[in-house]
Structure 1
Amino acid sequence: MNKELNRDVFVAIADPTRRKLIRILADERELPLYKLTPHFQMGRTAVSKHLTILKEADLVRERKAGRETRYRMNAEPLKEVKDWLSYYENFWNNNAARLKKLLGEE
């Protein structure tokens, strides 16, 4: 079975565990798996699987440091999410302005 190489960023961030991983890595420069695992009630294998999904979406990058693999966040793919959400921000701002105008007319 061929793995999907370019996983959708929305799929990748849909899971709360992966969002937490992104948040942790956003606060740190790089972390190895053994320092990420204690943040979760699951084993290294499960955390590693979540990291793989984030890597497939290019939200996480890895670097070998000797025998250790270190993970860091790549925020660039989140721009797609920001752009998508900005449409709805404009939608709600415009509707709120219309509602305010209607209420002012009454």
Structure 2
Amino acid sequence: MSDAPDPNRLSELEQRIEAAWKAQEPEPKEESKISQAQHAWRMIVELTVGIAIGVGIGYGLDVLFGTMPWFLVPFTLLGFAAGVNVMLKTAKELQEENTAESAGMDEGK
């Protein structure tokens, strides 16, 4: 009886261990996919920033000219309109991306 390890058995064991490790590795996730919640937050931020810029400009002009609500109200409304406009452009862009993806999937069938 020999105490020396069998090289063939050791190489087979190494191959089986490597196969087991590869089987347990998680599959890489696609980072390009953005969830619907992230799109929603993007649109909310766009609207909020539009309103904030409008309020800031209106308030600044009111302080500068001493006419407190006269510039604040219209610039707030303009900021809201600008925010909604940017949101609609984003929604249109997302819809075009989804349409292109679904068309690509249909062609692949």
Q: Same fold (TM over 0.5)?
A: no
Which structure's CA Rg is the greater one? 2
Query: Looking at both structures, which has the greater relative contact order when contacts are Cα pairs under 8 Å and sequence separation is at least 6?
Result: 1
TM-score normalised per structure 1: 0.31
Q: Flag the structure with higher strand content.
A: 1
Q: Flag the structure with higher helix content.
A: 2
